[in-house]
Amino acid sequence: MVNQENFWFIQTLKVELRHKQLRFRKPAKTSRDVLTVRDIYFILLIDESTGKTGIGECAPLKGLSIEIGGAYLDNLKNTCSKTIMFEDWQSILTSHPSILFGFETALLDLKNEGERNIFPSDQCITIPINGLVWMSEKEQMLNEAFQKIEAGYKCIKLKIGGIDFVEELSILKEIRKNFPPEKLTIRIDANGAFSIEEANKKLDVLSQFDIHSIEQPIKAGNRDFMALLVTQSPIKIALDEELIGEYDHKEKVKLLETILPNYIILKPTLHGGICGSNEWIEIATSLGIDWWATSALESNIGLNAISQWVATKNPILEQGLGTGMLFENNIPSPITIESGQLTYDPLKNWDISKIYDQNSLIL
């Protein structure tokens, strides 16, 4: 958690709130929804004595975030108006993980001279990432998968559960025919699409394709069956949506001890900000559970903060951080993706002018 004692300027901080709508280059389909635009909010913490500005991003995700609802913007505005007087950031914003993430990363940015160096390093940051293949028609998914592989990705993740299961199996068969496990790691993400009655059978069928792991095969909230599934599944299971809404330390321990998944997947915007995600990692590690982090479709401002945080963990597993290229009007940044690697060069410049688009200021 951010230590407020380090912020001598906190009582004189000016706060601005700005809105931006990102446009997907093409519709992003999951088993829950089809996304064409993404609403995000930038918190700007301005130290008027130095002219430095720290920028954080609040980006609740429709269909997943517990914060989504008509009151979200009012809550965010209210927090922006009062938060510089808060004495305990984490406890006050526990049930507002995207707002917490926005404020804690904006403060870290401002502390480090407002240059988007959230976790400062004078070296290039390079992180292995998976290539994400969104749900679509069979031929399009295959083409996208092969494009990712040709671009140098050694690990791809396919979203499943949105088209006919037989078609999804044929996609996996075609990929594996060309790329055996020693050449390509395949992850799949069901987003809770399997029913309890069909989960075991589908996992057995999917296992013939040497799948690395499957994210959230059944809907969150079925802990006892998920725990049983972990013991029976021929494919390692990763929890994602299951973690959303759990912010109490004891409840986190209880959840992971009950299910004992092979992996957990962390999205700071959904799972309690940086501080909450660190707590998940600490608990998971104590139980022998591995993890990786993914973006929750933030702009490059949020993606940068997550990537720099992940880099401090020296990850070995591929992370899910390749989402910046999904948007046609993202914030230009020093983040580049090449050959399955995300790179951040601190010597390159940001162009944050797009944050200040006309009519973006809402507070």
Amino acid 72 reads Y
Query: What pLDDT is attached to residue 4?
Result: 46
Going from the C-alpha of 245 to that of each of 96, 97, 310, 344, 360, the distances in angstroms are: 9, 9, 22, 31, 30
Range name among 2-6, 98-102, 110-114 with the lowest pLDDT average: 2-6
Query: What pLDDT is attached to residue 120?
Result: 82
Burial class from Cβ neighbours inside 10 Å (0-12, 13-18, 19+) for residue 115 reads middle
What tokens were used for 80? 């922006």
Query: What pLDDT is attached to residue 121?
Result: 76
29 is catalytic: no
Query: What pLDDT is attached to residue 40?
Result: 94
Give the H/E segment covering residue 174: helix 165-178
Range name among 5-9, 144-148, 184-188, 252-256 with the lowest pLDDT average: 5-9
Query: What pLDDT is attached to residue 63?
Result: 74
Mean of the per-residue pLDDT values of the chain: 90
The residue extents of the domains of the chain are: 4-117, 125-353
Per-residue pLDDT at 353 exceeds 50: yes
- Rounded to the nearest angstrom, the gap between the alpha carbon of residue 94 and the centroid of all alpha carbons in its chain is 18
- 125-353 matches 4-117 in CATH topology: no
CATH code matching the domain that covers 4-117, chosen among 3.40.50.720, 3.30.390.10, 3.40.50.1580, 3.40.140.10? 3.30.390.10
What tokens were used for 315? 């990850």
Provide mean pLDDT across the span 27-51.
87
User: Residue 81 — very low, low, confident or very high, per pLDDT cuts 50/70/90?
Assistant: confident
Query: Cα-flanking dihedrals φ and ψ of residue 342, to 5°?
Result: -95, 130
**Tens-place pLDDT, residues 167-215:** 999 999 999 999 999 999 999 999 999 999 999 999 999 999 999 999 9
Euclidean distance between the first and the last CA atom of the chain, given in angstroms as a whole number: 26
User: Residue 8 — very low, low, confident or very high, per pLDDT cuts 50/70/90?
Assistant: very low
User: Residue 31 — very low, low, confident or very high, per pLDDT cuts 50/70/90?
Assistant: low
Provide mean pLDDT across the span 216-225.
96
- In the set 154, 159, 202, 252, the catalytic residue is 159
Query: What pLDDT is attached to residue 316?
Result: 92
Query: What pLDDT is attached to residue 90?
Result: 62
Per-residue pLDDT at 12 exceeds 90: no
Give the H/E segment covering residue 25: strand 14-29
User: What does pTM read for this prediction?
Assistant: 0.93
Query: What pLDDT is attached to residue 88?
Result: 56
Query: What pLDDT is attached to residue 79?
Result: 83
What tokens were used for 50? 């130095």
252 is catalytic: no
Going from the C-alpha of 55 to that of each of 107, 112, 160, 304, 305, the distances in angstroms are: 8, 11, 35, 11, 10
- In the set 154, 157, 202, 267, the catalytic residue is 267
The answer to whether domain 125-353 has CATH 3.10.50.40 is: no
Q: Are 109 and 54 in contact (CB under 8 A)?
A: yes
User: Residue 49 — very low, low, confident or very high, per pLDDT cuts 50/70/90?
Assistant: confident
Query: What pLDDT is attached to residue 348?
Result: 83
Query: What pLDDT is attached to residue 92?
Result: 65
Per-residue pLDDT at 9 exceeds 80: no
Rounded Cα–Cα distance for residues 353 and 356 (Å): 5
Range name among 72-76, 256-260, 279-283, 304-308 with the lowest pLDDT average: 72-76
User: Residue 2 — very low, low, confident or very high, per pLDDT cuts 50/70/90?
Assistant: very low
